[in-house]
Every structure is written in structure tokens, then in C-alpha cells.
Amino acid sequence: MSGFNLYKYSSPATFYVLAGRLIPWFYAAAALLGAAGLYVSFFLAPTDFQQGEAYRIIFIHVPAAWMSMFIYLAMAGWAALGLAFNTRLSFMMASALAPTGAMLTFVSLWTGALWGKPTWGAWWVWDARLTSELILFFLYLGFMALQAAIDDPRRADRAGALIALVGVVNVPIIYFSVKWWNTLHQGASVSLNTAPSMAAVMLAGMLVMALAVWMYAIAAALSRVRCIILERERNSQWVAQMLGAEPHPHPNLPLEGEGTNVEGI
């Protein structure tokens, strides 16, 4: 089979070691970018003359909203890969991303509420973005609940992947319909009417924060996928072997052969 190389990298055994080496770097990148982002949000960005200091919440609200959507896309991407090539690791990545994505969706809802109160005088308004985020949150919950309800890991992987794909086809339709509904009912809409000179600083701050969140999400997903690999593969030989060599895992150990244990025997 021509995809032998692909199989090597998508083998949970190889990936487990690789992920373990990458995680600290992603956490470090997230911490550095987060510090830079916070510096921009609190010290470089000036006070908004309409909203006062409350507007600083967008530096967490907007990146969280962006990333919550992006992670759903990534999840669907992994799901599609898994269904197309039947690689277990892709399904595991999809499940590993979901809780982090749901957490960020919750963050964007929570910060949206805390921003809404001083800005519009209400904890919750049916603004197009907040409403879409709420539905996205339900989509994440549905994905996780479905996977949790299925005992057979193979079925859980595939069923989750399918609902993620169905969801990702629907997200644009949902967003469009909510927006349409919102304008028809003259609902509140989030507008950042700030001076153009300030917009550049704000955009930079939001981008740096989004990058920080991105790095964090990768680190968290990789840590989670390592847990999933351990839970699923606890019967295979490579896990036993590696656990003996836990403090300094050598990638040169003959792991590849054992990794395909379940498919290969």
C-alpha cells in the first residue's frame, strides 16, 4: 500500500510520543502569546471613549468566538479524514478537540453576557453572533453526548464524525438564518464603532490573543488525545513497553510494528 508512510505517522504509538514532545512547546507559545496579548489589551489599547474600559472584554470575547468556530471546523476536518481513510487517530483528534471547543464557546457566551450588561444594559441580547454561538454550543454538546452514549469505540468514532460533518454543513446555514432573523426583528447587533487609528491596535490585540488561544487549544487537544490513546490502546504491547521507558521515551524503539497491532494481527 502506498500510504505506508501515512500509516506510520497516523499510528497512535508514533503519534503518542510525538505529541508528548510537542505539548510543552505549544503551552509555552500559548503563554508567551497570551502575555503579549494581555499587554496589548490592557496597556497598548487606549480607553474607548464611548464604552469606557468595558470594551477590553472583546480581547477575550472575539478570539474565543473565532476559535470556537475554527475548532469546530478542525473537528469536522479530522472527522472527514477519519471517515475517508479509516484512520483511528483522526477520530481521536476529533473527540479530543470537542471539549476545548465547547469550553471556548462557553467563554465567548460568558464574556458576551458580561460585555452586554454595561453596553446594552442586559445580560443577554439576541444578537446574531451570540445566538449563533449558543447554537454552536449545543452542537458541541450534541457531539459529546452522542459519543458518550455509545459504548463501542468504533461506532462512537464514526457516529461522532458523521454528526460533526452534518453540523459543519449546517453552521453557515444557521449563521445566515440567525443573521436574517436578527435584522428582520431589528435586534441589537454588535458594532465596534471606534476610531480607525484604534482599530489597528484592537485588531492586533485580538489576533495575538486568537493565536494564543489557538496554541493553547492545540496543546490541550494533544494532551487529551494522549489520554484517549492510552485508554483505547491499553491492551496493546507498545503501551506496556513504553510505560517501562516512560521517563525518556525513545522514538527509536521498535514501536511502529506494534502500533498497528489491532489492524494487523
Partner 1 sequence: MVGMNWHSLSEFIHMGGYALYVWGSFGVTALLIAGEILLLGARRKKALTLVRRTIKFGKAENDEDAA
Partner 2 sequence: MNAISALLRRELTLAMRRRGDALTALFFFVIVASLFPLGVGPDPKLLHLMGGGVVWVAALLAAMLSLGRLFAADHADGTLEQLILTPTSPVVWIAGKILAHWLVSGVPLILMAPVLGIQFGLSGAELAVLMWSLLLGTPALSLIGAIGAALTLGLRGGGVLVSLLVLPLYVPVLIFGAGAVDGAISGLGSEAHLSLLGGILILAFMLTPWAVAAALRISIE
Partner 3 sequence: MLEGKSLACVRGERTLFSRLDFALGEGELLLVQGANGSGKTSLLRMVCGLLAPEFGEISWHGEAIASCRERYHADMVYFGHAPAVKEDLSAFENLDLACRLAGFPAGRDDVKGALGYLGLGHCLDLPARSLSQGQRRRVALARLLLTRARLWILDEPLTALDQAALHLVQSLLGEHLAKGGMVMLTTHQPVAVAGVVPKTLQLS
Residues that bind partner 2 (CB under 8 A): 83, 135, 138-139, 141-142, 145-146, 149-150, 152, 154-155, 158-159, 162-163, 165-167, 169-170, 173-174, 176-178, 180-181, 184
Is residue 111 a contact point for partner 1 (CB under 8 A)? yes
- What 3-state class would DSSP assign to 11? coil
| Window 191-230: residues binding partner 1 (CB under 8 A) | 216, 220, 223-224, 226-227, 230
The residue from 121, 244, 247, 264 that contacts partner 3 (CB under 8 A) is: 264
Distance in angstroms (rounded) separating the CA atoms of residues 58 and 265: 53
Which of partner 1, partner 2, partner 3, none interacts with 264 (beta carbon under 5 to 8 A by kind)? partner 3
Q: What is d(CA 117, CA 91) in angstroms, rounded to the nearest whole number?
A: 40
DSSP for 67-125, written as a single string: HHHHHHHHHHHHHHHHHHH--HHHHHHHHHHHHHHHHHHHHHHHHHHHHHHHHHSSS--
246 binds partner 3 (CB under 8 A): no
Determine, following the binding rule CB under 8 A, whether residue 252 of this chain makes contact with partner 3. no
Query: How many alpha carbons lie under 13 Å from residue 30 in its C-beta half-sphere?
Result: 14
Which residues have a Cβ under 8 Å from the Cβ of 146 and sit 6 or more positions away?
Answer: 156, 159, 160, 163
Return the SS3 of 52.
strand
Residue type, 69: M
Instruction: Check residue 129 for interaction with partner 1 (CB under 8 A).
Output: no
Angle of CA points 120, 122, 128, to nearest 5°: 70
- Minimal distance in Å, beta carbon 166 to partner 2? 6
Does residue 89 interact with partner 1 by CB under 8 A?
no
Burial readout 200-232 (b: 16 or more C-beta within 10 A, e: otherwise): eebeebbbbbbbbbbbbbbbbbbbbbbebbeeb
Check the CA dihedral 258-75-135-59 and report its sign.
Answer: positive
Stretch that binds partner 1, among 51-59, 84-92, 156-164, 173-181 (CB under 8 A): 51-59
C-alpha span between 199 and 190 (Å, rounded): 15
47 binds, among partner 1, partner 2, partner 3, none (CB under 5 to 8 A by kind): partner 1
Tell me how far apart the alpha carbons of residues 193 and 202 are, in angstroms, rounded to a whole number.
12
Identify which of residues 41 and 182 has a Cβ nearer to partner 2 in the complex: 182
Q: Is 50 in the site for partner 1 (CB under 8 A)?
A: no
Asked if 110 is part of the footprint of partner 1 (rule: CB under 8 A), the reply reads yes
Q: Does 117 bind partner 3 (CB under 8 A)?
A: no
84 is an interface residue for partner 3 by CB under 8 A? no
* Segment interacting with partner 1 (CB under 8 A) among 10-18, 130-138, 182-190, 233-241: 233-241
Would you tell me which residues interact with partner 3 (CB under 8 A)? 151-154, 232, 235, 262-265
Binding site for partner 1 (CB under 8 A): 42-47, 52-54, 56-57, 60-61, 64, 99-100, 103, 106-107, 110-111, 114-115, 117-118, 216, 220, 223-224, 226-227, 230-231, 234-235, 239-240, 243, 265
